[in-house]
A and B are shown apart, each in its own frame.
Chain A
Amino acid sequence: MLWVDQDKKQVAQSDSMFQTPEAAKMMSLLPLILLGIALPATQAIQYRKCELSQILREHGIDKDIPLPELICTMFHISGFDTQTEVNNNSNKEHGIFQISNNGWCAEKQEDVAKSVCGILCSKLLDDDITDDIVCAKKILQLPERLDYWKAHKTFCRENLDQWNC
């Protein structure tokens, strides 16, 4: 409290940097206002088909595989919900790509280094899908490629126009 008066003096002195105190405030507020608008938009995501397609394109996942087939597969395994968690016999599948804990991701921290994707499975359930995409790219390097996911053979080899964006 004691230094408030001093602050006023200091503020008055440094104001010569900007034209007016109001302009100075606006300049410093602007990035924070933009951040304030951007941040809520990235929370709690259930993706729509075309926004997810755009993100996947940006990450270059469609270099070797057709994007509509991938999007179709992802819909049928997770419904584009980043929090999808499914028990498959003795294994558990996580996130938007339904990545399995039988070697791809690890349930416990001490096993992370052993997993192919080198990641904690719970990290695949958050809203940041960058790490999910990196891991999915590794899965797609298998010879079966998209057929790794059973949904692909069942749903995503024909009638693909509906998955275009």
Chain B
Amino acid sequence: MKEPLLGSMAMPGKSLQKACRLLVVFCAVHLLVTLFYYLSGRDFDVLQLFSKHQQSQEGRGSVTVTEVARQALAASAATGLEKPAGDRAPQPEEATESTETGPPGKVRPLPSCPDPSPLLVGPLQVEFLRPVNLETIEKENPKLRKGGRFTPEDCTALQKVAIIIPFRNRDEHLRYWLYYLHPFLQRQQLDYGIYVINQDGEETFNRAKLLNVGFQEALKEYDYDCFVFSDVDLIPMDDRNTYRCFEQPRHLSVSMDKFGFSLPYNQYFGGVSALSKEQFLKINGFPNNYWGWGGEDDDIYNRLIYKGMSISRPNAIIGKCRMIRHSRDQKNEPNPQRFDRIAHTRQTMNSDGLNSLKYQLMEIQKYPLYTKITVDIGSPS
């Protein structure tokens, strides 16, 4: 009875078992290859965490770097300031901090800080896997003053830089930004302040208008001569990328991991940029009418070109940045009007900008690591 049954089942049973074995092998191979693609797509973020010779035992690479920088600062203070200040002759300067209190006890004028700064270390390790908290950042950056202000003690900074960050509901990103950028900016020996411009309310996000507000509010505090405009989720990977102003408007985020560490297109001016006070005023600041994602950076690019300026950039190695990956924000949908608007920059730039800026200041909060300015910037007209 069993024999004939088995006889008829023998052929399908054999191929079925063979198919099952093949399927298991296939799934295993598929899983391995998918894992490989996943890891390579992440630019070896995870793999770097395990590479011992690049990381210290206790913390991230940038922590070690901060200590090195502190030692270097202490050493240069001890040996005095006899080293030549780069290619610029040291100029005695009177106290420049007229509208706010600078570091106490500063009487003697200092020589200019060298360009480039001797504290730079070059490429940095940047990753977003481990959480950071504000207390740790404060402890690691004891030279900061309230509101996220820093002035180099041993030399006069080359520029007074206000860093303006458009913001809404991105506290986790801001913590990473502060963690990486405060040591970075101090090594660049800049006289800087951090201004987080927080859009009040639930209206569609307007990045450029917030940046206009940042420019105006920062100037009320101190006579900054340079303005760096940075998205909150962009972290530079090399401190030779100086966050200061140049002869021409400067594009700083040229080589983003999101775009395969290259410029997505030649006219791209988004992410992180730096304009001197004069350059900013020359273009009537930024447009106020770009609500939603996209286009405002292209409008700014157009403004600069129409006023005869050009874009200055670091090379693709020094200009490397990482973007903190995140899902698309609610209330910051791609702006469908952006292509039409960009086509009319020339006509609109003289009437839409700093000279038409209207907003309501809600609150100014001075935290140890940054100044948070909450504004009501209205809604699309």
Contact = CB atoms under 8 A, between A and B. Distances in A.
A153 B336 contact: no
* Contact residues of B: prevailing secondary structure: helix
B17 interface: yes
B13 A3 contact: yes
B316 interface: no
A57 interface: no
Interface stretch (B139-147, B149-157, B210-218, B338-346): B338-346
B33 interface: yes
B340 A150 contact: yes
Contacts of B7: 6
Interface stretch (A28-36, A102-110, A117-125, A128-136): A28-36
A35 B265 CA distance: 35
B334 interface: yes
Contacts of A162: 265-266
B91 interface: no
The range of chain A's interface size is 20 to 34
Contact of B2 (A2, A86, A89): A2
Interface string B321-339: 0000000000001101001
A88 B336 contact: yes
A133 B288 CA distance: 37
B72 interface: no
B26 A28 contact: no
Contacts of B14: 3, 6-7, 10-11
A28 B18 contact: yes
A6 B7 CA distance: 8
A136 B33 CA distance: 33
A39 interface: yes
Interface of A: 2-4, 6-7, 9-11, 28-29, 32-33, 35-37, 39-41, 43, 48, 72, 75-76, 86-89, 150-151, 153-155, 159, 162
8 contacts: A3-B13, A29-B25, A32-B29, A40-B37, A41-B37, A75-B265, A154-B343, A155-B339
